Amino acid sequence: MEIHTNIPLKNYTTMRLGGNARFMAEAHTPEDIAALSRNSKKQGLPIFILGGGSNIIAHDEGFSGLVVRNRIPGFEILEDDASHTIVRIGAGENWDDIVKRTVEMNLTGIEAMSAIPGTAGAAPIQNVGAYGQEIADTLVSLEAYDNITDSFVVLQNQDCAFSYRHSIFRGEASGRYTVTSITLQLYKAPPQPPFYKAIEDYFTTNGITMFTPQIIRDAVINIRTEKLPDPKITPNTGSFFKNALIEDWQLNELKKKYPDIPSYDMPDGKFKIPTGWLIEQTGLKGKTLHGMRIHDKNALVLINASATSYQELAAARDEISSAVRDQFRITIEQEPLEI
């Protein structure tokens, strides 16, 4: 394995901000992950595992340790019968390539998560989801390197403590595990309505009445292309803020002033409010703050129009959060992780 020095993180994160990583290496096998982790611990260096860089914000001072780019490949069918297929996927695989491949196999379960940038191994970290699907719905288990016990482990779905855009990997086990593969159970039955509202609206507008995984994928790609800028062209991290979760009494209070406020029931009795809608009500949609532009088609997205530092991004984030909190008494949370 080659280890490079003083590598600009802005070249490996889609927001294109951040200082240098002191060291950077690529891991192509689980054993690479273990070896790099052991060496970092021996040298007293912090370690950070990087996937596609599409959900990461890098600080101006860079990273004083080792950044490992997870590039572990793999796609293996473990089980296949009349109703479902179980596949094991290397953590370094491009996520949308995996979705495309499973859709071409006419499998359902992740087709609505099309066109999400990043790697397969990153999907469980924040329980990636879109348009009514999330990784927790199909993940059977994952394999990971445990940095504490210096061993490879298998974590079952229930071990991950999935919730909305959250898991143990962003909580109590942050930094402990490096995902090396994920195992998903996908299904052969065709997708059935009702679908997520944006997809339903798309089908109604386009007169679509037959549903297959490919039709769902095509719809999602068209919707996302319309609403979300391509991070390869326009610097952004996709949805910068999580959708807000509030209690029923908060929703009832808000409905008195905002009777048309959109809301969605959540399994734990809370309600999800689209944060993009909240930001739009503050009048900030389409505005540029500290070099960061709030996307005029989706206020959840912050575009790096001219910012050159993390500090500018943080100032824009805080100004948006304050505006929402002042108007709605709701605290919104940043979605990307930070290095």
CATH number at 155 reads 3.30.465.10
The percentage of the chain sitting over the pLDDT mark of 70, rounded to a whole number, equals 100
Question: Of the listed 165, 217, 224, 293, which one is catalytic?
Answer: 165
Last residue of a domain, one of 30, 46, 70: 70
Catalytic residue among 93, 143, 312, 335: 335
Q: Of the residues 217, 239, 317, 321, which is catalytic?
A: 239
Do residues 121 and 179 lie in contact, with contact meaning Cβ atoms separated by under 8 Å? yes
Q: Are residue 244 and residue 285 in the same domain, yes or no?
A: yes
Q: Tell me which residue of 101, 82, 80 sits closest to 90, measured CA to CA.
A: 101
Q: Which residues pair with 276 in a beta bridge?
A: none
Residues 242 and 292 in one domain: yes
pTM above 0.75, yes or no: yes
pLDDT of residue 96 exceeding 90: yes
207 Ramachandran zone, left/alpha/beta (phi>0; psi -120 to 50): left
- Asked if residue 116 belongs to a domain, the reply is yes
Q: Say if residue 175 is in the same domain as residue 79.
A: yes
Token pair in block for residue 267: 């399994």
How far is it, in rounded angstroms, from Cα 254 to Cα 98?
41
Domain assignment present for residue 113? The answer is yes
3-state secondary structure 106-169: CCECCHHHCCCCCEHHHCCCCCCEECCEEHHHCEEEEEEEECCCCEEEEEEHHHHCCECCECHH
Residue range of the domain that includes 136:
75-187
Q: What is the CATH number of the domain that holds 289?
A: 3.90.78.10
Do 83 and 29 belong to one domain? no
pLDDT at 121 over 90: yes
Q: Are residues 172 and 264 in the same domain?
A: no
Residue 80 and residue 183 in one domain:
yes
pLDDT confidence of residue 175: 92
- Confidence label for 266 from pLDDT (cuts 50, 70 and 90): confident
Helix 197-206, helix 213-227: angle, nearest 10: 100
CA 263 to chain centre: 21
Classify residue 334 by its DSSP letter. Answer: B
pLDDT confidence of 255, banded at 50, 70, 90?
Answer: very high
Average pLDDT across the chain, whole number: 96
Shared domain for 14 and 42, answered yes or no, is yes
Same domain? 10 vs 28:
yes
CATH number at residue 64: 3.30.43.10
What pLDDT score was predicted for residue 1? 79
User: Same domain for 111 and 203?
Assistant: no
Residue 127 in any domain: the answer is yes
**The predicted structure's pLDDT at residue 220:** 97
Determine contact, residues 19/39, Cβ cutoff 8 Å: no
Indicate the residue among 50, 70, 90 that finishes a domain.
Answer: 70
CA distance 246 to 253: 11
> Quick one: pLDDT at residue 211?
96
Mind listing the pLDDT tens digit for each residue in 278-320? 999 999 999 999 999 999 999 999 999 999 999 999 999 999 9
| Residue count (the chain) | 339
Establish if 192 belongs to a structural domain. no
pLDDT recorded at residue 153: 98
Q: CA angle, 19 as apex, 128 and 285 as ends, to 5°?
A: 50
User: pLDDT tens digit string along 20-43?
Assistant: 999 999 999 999 999 999 999 999
Percent of the chain clearing pLDDT 90 (strictly above): 96
276 part of a folded domain: yes
Task: Render pLDDT for 176-207 as a digit per residue (tens, 0 to 9).
Answer: 999 999 999 999 999 999 999 999 999 999 99
Are both 85 and 22 inside the same structural domain? no
Burial of 86 (0-12, 13-18, 19+ CB in 10 A): middle
Q: Is 335 a catalytic residue?
A: yes
> What is the total count of domains within the chain?
4
**Do 15 and 36 belong to one domain?**
yes
Across the range 58-83, mean pLDDT stands at 97
Average the pLDDT over 8-19 and give the result: 97
Q: Is the pLDDT of residue 58 over 90?
A: yes
| Cα gap 197→205, rounded to integer Å | 12
**42, 70, 98: which is the final residue of a domain?**
70
Confidence of residue 267 (pLDDT cuts 50, 70, 90): confident
User: Are 101 and 141 members of one domain?
Assistant: yes
Do the domain assignments include residue 60? yes
Which pLDDT band holds residue 268 (cuts at 50, 70, 90)? confident
